[in-house]
Amino acid sequence: MRWYFVFIKSIREQIRDYWILLLTISLAPFFVFMYYLMVETETPEFNIILVNQDEGAFFFNHPLNLGDSLIYYMQLVSMDQEKAMLHFTEQDKRLAGIELLQKGEADVMVVFPRKLTMKLLNPAYDDSTRTVLELVGDVTDIQYIIGAVWSEELINQFIREASGISLPIGWKETTLGYSGQRTEFELYLPGIMILAVIMMIFSASAAIVREPEARTLERLKISNLSALEFLGGVSLIQVIIAIVSLLLTIGVGVFLGYTLLPGTFWFILLVAFLTSLSMITFSLIVAAICRSIKDVAIIGTFPLFILMFFTGAAFPISGGKLFTLAGKPFHINDILSPTWAVDALNKVLVKGQEIRETISDLAMILVLTLAYFIIGVWAFRRRHMRAA
């Protein structure tokens, strides 16, 4: 029962240091609100400049410029609700368009060649040269990539319709699981749910390191308190804090439009519980390095950032492959247990897979938890228990 007294003591200290508690349980819900503002309140726009250098041609004794027709076609198509994010602007000169790109006032520039109409009316005209449309923009910018893809697709569609060419094959898109039903905001939620658990690293590390700092660990040591009993008492309150943070995160997400799939709530709690145990044992390693709560606030920031940004919690990421185990690639960030937790939630909440297909992910969380525990207990005993 000695672990129980540690549990009660930890509750009182968490209430006393309420600022750490508030930081732990409020940061993930804040991230949910912030992501909502970033992806849902602003509609993406792609500004595309069209430069028509087409000289045109005569068709049945009437002047014809398919470059002008193409510009009209693209502007007309952009009025469609599904393509309303595309904004096409005609520009007379190529250099003027480049200046707009450099100022960030446009994302893509498409330059129509001089012989566009002639080549479309008579494909055999001047076989020695090929008529080329030019795409101009910053190829490292995602705005350019998406805008360029849309521009190419609309131009190809216009050419097929104008020339009467019918492709012998068509395309059919089949969405994987619930990925086609989820908004961009909802796709971030599984990771942020795990982020709610990751945030307990501050609270858990502070709770563990507080004892040697206040020299109460010496009295606990005299009472023959073992490291396991001490860790058990501290862990229980930290698991409760993690679950509260998770529930707040889910609540804010649902309020802002996230759809919680029927039958998945208890699975989310299971993954969060296993991840919280893993973060507690990871916090032991952090606490073994620190001598005071001040050290936790400074040193603990580094592992927190690693867990946030290299596990897929804050945004999707994949590390370099180290090796392949049982046909599954093992990446650098797979040594961090939240990586497997995020993957497990994405499998069920986004890809629509069965819960049983996440057993390997849950098993890896347990394996890594055991590894963190062995390292953490050894380091904590060596640094603090022996000193006490």
CATH number, span 46-163: 3.40.1710.10
- Kindly give the pairing relationship between strand 86-91 and strand 321-325: unpaired
Q: What was the pLDDT predicted at 224? A: 66
Which residue do the tokens 């494909």 mark? Answer: 123
List the structure tokens of 98.
């480049």
Q: Is the dihedral of CA 191, 293, 5, 378 positive or negative?
A: positive
Look up residue 236 and give its amino acid.
L
Q: Which residue has the tokens 């620190």?
A: 290
> 């007294």: which residue's tokens?
5
Q: For residue 254, what pLDDT is reported? A: 93
Task: Answer yes or no: are the C-beta atoms of 230 and 209 closer than 8 Å.
Answer: no
- Give CA–CA dist 62/262, Å, rounded: 64
The continuous run of DSSP H or E covering 73 comes out as helix 66-77
User: Cα(58)–Cα(64) distance, rounded to whole angstroms?
Assistant: 6
pLDDT of residue 24: 84
Could you identify the residue written with the tokens 């492959």? Answer: 321
Query: What is the pLDDT at residue 213?
Result: 59
Task: List, in order, residues 6 or more apart from 39 with CB less than 8 Å away.
Answer: 183, 184, 185, 188
pLDDT in the model for residue 253: 93
> Which of 120, 141, 105, 126 has its CA nearest to residue 73?
120
What is the reported pLDDT for 47? 93
For the chain, list residues with pLDDT below 50: none
Domain boundaries, the chain: 2-39+183-385, 46-163
Please return the burial class of 291, using the count of CB atoms within 10 Å of its CB with bins 0-12, 13-18 and 19+. Answer: middle
The answer to whether 144 touches 108, Cβ cutoff 8 Å, is: yes
Beta strand spans in 220-377 (E) = 321-325, 328-331
Cα first-last separation, the chain: 22
> What would the two tokens of residue 223 be?
């009472």
CA distances from 110 to 74, 148, 334 (A): 12, 8, 43
Q: Which of 233, 201, 203, 258 is nearest to 18 (CA)?
A: 203
